[in-house]
Amino acid sequence: MKDHLVGTALRGTRQQDRVELPMAAPLSALFKYLPSEMAYERKLLLLAGVREIYEMAGAASIFLDIADKPAPPEKLAECSPELALMIRLMLEGSFTECLPEAVEQLQHKGQRLPPALLPLALTATPEALQPAMRWLLGERGAWLTRFLSAWSWARIATINEDGTLTPEAEATWREGTVKERLDLLRRLRFRDPAQARRRLQEVWSREKADVRLQFLTLLSSGLSADDEDFLEDALSDRSPQVRRMATSLLMTLPDSRCRPELLAEADCLIQQEEQEGRIVFVANPPAEVPQQWQRYGIAVSSGLRHICLQQLISLVPPAHWEQRFHVSPAAFLQGAAGTWAEVALETLYKATRLYHDEAWALALW
Amino acid sequence: MSLTLTFSEIRALAPDEKAVNAARKLAGPSHWQETGQCPSAVWGLCQGSALYQVCVNTATMTTRCTCPSRKVPCKHSLGLLFLVVMEPEAVPSAEPPAWVSDWLARTAARSKERADTPPGGNTERAGKRQQQRLQRITRGLNQLDLWLNDLIKNGLADLQQERGVTSLWAREAALLEDAQAPALAAQIRSLETIPGSADDWPERLLARLGRIALLSEAFYHLEQLDSGLQEDVLQALGLPLRAEQVDARGEWVSDTWQFLGQYVEEDKKLITQRTWLLGRQTGRRALLLQFCVPQAAQAFAENYPLGRQQRATLVFWPSAAPQRARLLEREGEITAIRTLPPATTCLNEALAEVAAALARQPWQERFLLLLHDVTPICLEEGLRWFLRDSHGHALPLRKGGHWQLLAISGGQAIDCAGEWDGYTLLPLGAMAPSENYQLLEIPRVRPFRF
What's the CA gap between B206 and A1, in Å, rounded? 14
What's the CA gap between B313 and B311, in Å, rounded? 7
Query: Contacts of residue B354 in chain A, CB cutoff 8 Å?
Result: 56-57, 59
pLDDT in tens, B209-260: 999 999 999 999 999 999 999 999 999 988 878 888 898 889 999 999 999 9
Q: What is the pLDDT of residue B385?
A: 95
pLDDT in tens, B375-401: 999 998 899 999 999 999 999 999 888
Q: What is the mean pLDDT of residues A255-259?
A: 92
- Whether the predicted pLDDT of B152 surpasses 60: yes
What's the CA gap between B265 and B228, in Å, rounded? 27
What residues are paired with B37 via a beta bridge?
B42, B93
Neighbours of A204 (CB within 10 A): 17
A61–B393 C-beta distance less than 8 A: yes
B415 within 8 A of B345, measured Cβ to Cβ: no
B155–A86 C-beta distance less than 8 A: no
pLDDT in tens, B67-104: 888 777 888 988 998 888 888 888 898 899 999 888 88
Q: What is the pLDDT of residue B162?
A: 73
Q: Which helix (H) or strand (E) holds A47?
A: helix A40-57
pLDDT in tens, B99-133: 988 888 887 777 666 555 444 455 677 778 878 88
Query: Contacts of residue B402 in chain A, CB cutoff 8 Å?
Result: none
B88–A53 C-beta distance less than 8 A: no
- Whether the predicted pLDDT of A99 surpasses 60: yes
B410–A140 C-beta distance less than 8 A: yes
From the CA of A185, how many Å to the nearest CA of chain B? 28
The set of long-range contacts for A275-282, using a CB threshold of 8 Å and a minimum separation of 24, is A275/A337, A278/A335, A279/A327, A279/A331, A279/A335, A280/A335, A280/A336, A280/A337, A280/A338, A281/A321, A281/A325, A281/A332, A281/A335, A281/A336, A281/A337, A281/A340, A281/A344, A282/A337, A282/A338, A282/A340
Q: What is the pLDDT of residue A17?
A: 64
What residues are paired with B279 via a beta bridge?
B257
What's the CA gap between B56 and B38, in Å, rounded? 11
Instruction: Please tell me if residue B393 touches chain A, with a CB cutoff of 8 Å.
Output: yes
Which of A46, A55, A70 is facing B411, going by the closest CB pair? A70
Beta strands A62-63 and A111-112, pairing class: unpaired
- Whether the predicted pLDDT of A279 surpasses 90: no
Q: What is the pLDDT of residue B232?
A: 93
Q: Flag the least confident range among A45-59, A298-312, B197-211, B320-334.
A: A298-312
How many whole angstroms from its chain centre is CA A40?
69
Beta strands in chain A (DSSP E): 62-63, 77-78, 111-112, 270-275, 278-283, 336-337
Q: What is the mean pLDDT of residues B399-426?
A: 94
> What does the angle CA A24 – CA A25 – CA A29 come to, to the nearest 5 degrees?
110
Which of A9, A70, A144 is facing B206, going by the closest CB pair? A9
pLDDT in tens, A144-171: 998 998 898 887 656 776 778 888 788 8
Residue to test with chain A: of B206, B229, B354, B395, most A Cβ within 10 A:
B206
Instruction: Please tell me if residue B390 touches chain A, with a CB cutoff of 8 Å.
Output: no
Q: Which amino acid is residue A118, in one-letter code?
A: L
Q: What is the mean pLDDT of residues A222-226?
A: 91
Nearest to B304 by CA among B58, B44, B53: B58
A51 within 8 A of A2, measured Cβ to Cβ: yes
In chain A, count H helices and then E strands.
20, 6
- Whether the predicted pLDDT of A121 surpasses 90: yes
Neighbours of A42 (CB within 10 A): 19
- Whether the predicted pLDDT of A251 surpasses 70: yes
Residue B339 DSSP symbol: -
Q: What is the pLDDT of residue A283?
A: 87
Q: What is the pLDDT of residue A153?
A: 84
What's the CA gap between B194 and B196, in Å, rounded? 6
Q: What is the pLDDT of residue B448?
A: 43
B412–A57 C-beta distance less than 8 A: no
What are the C-alpha distances in Å from A317 to residues A332, A346, B187? 14, 14, 77
A67–B388 C-beta distance less than 8 A: yes
Q: What is the pLDDT of residue B229?
A: 93
Query: Contacts of residue B208 in chain A, CB cutoff 8 Å?
Result: 52
B60 within 8 A of B330, measured Cβ to Cβ: yes
Total residue count of chain B as it appears in this document: 450
SS (H, E, C) B164-178: CCCCHHHHHHHHHHH
Q: Is the peptide bond before B73 cis (omega within 30 degrees of 0)?
A: yes
Instruction: Please tell me if residue B414 touches chain A, with a CB cutoff of 8 Å.
Output: no
Q: What is the pLDDT of residue B119?
A: 46
Q: What is the pTM of this model?
A: 0.67
B317 within 8 A of B325, measured Cβ to Cβ: yes
Higher model confidence: residue A162 or residue B178? Answer: B178
B213 within 8 A of A49, measured Cβ to Cβ: yes
Higher model confidence: residue B347 or residue A345? Answer: B347
CA atoms within 13 A on the CB side of B261: 23
Q: Which amino acid is residue B163, in one-letter code?
A: R
DSSP for B217-285 reads HHHHTGGGS-HHHHHHHHHHHT-PPPHHHHHHHSEEEEEEEEEEEEEEEE-SS-EEEEEEEEETTT--E
Q: What is the pLDDT of residue B122?
A: 59
Q: Is B24 helix (H, G, I), strand (E, B) or coil?
A: helix
- Whether the predicted pLDDT of A309 surpasses 70: yes
B358–A144 C-beta distance less than 8 A: no
Residue B59 DSSP symbol: T
pLDDT in tens, B261-308: 999 888 767 788 999 999 999 999 999 999 887 776 567 888 899 999
What's the CA gap between B383 and B381, in Å, rounded? 6
Q: What is the mean pLDDT of residues A13-20?
A: 69
A47–B157 C-beta distance less than 8 A: no
* 198-237 of B, contacting A, C-beta below 8 A: 202-203, 206-214, 217
DSSP for B163-231 reads -STTSHHHHHHHHHHHTT-HHHHHHHHHGGGSTTSSTTHHHHHHHHHHHHHHHHHHHHTGGGS-HHHHH
Beta strands A336-337 and A278-283, pairing class: parallel
Q: Which helix (H) or strand (E) holds A232?
A: helix A228-234
Q: Nearest residue on chain A to B208, judged by CA atoms?
A: A49
Q: What is the overall mean pLDDT for chain A?
A: 86
Query: Contacts of residue B381 in chain A, CB cutoff 8 Å?
Result: 147-149
Q: Flag the least confident range among A114-118, A180-184, B221-225, B423-427.
A: A180-184
Neighbours of B384 (CB within 10 A): 12
Which of B87, B148, B392 is facing A45, going by the closest CB pair? B148
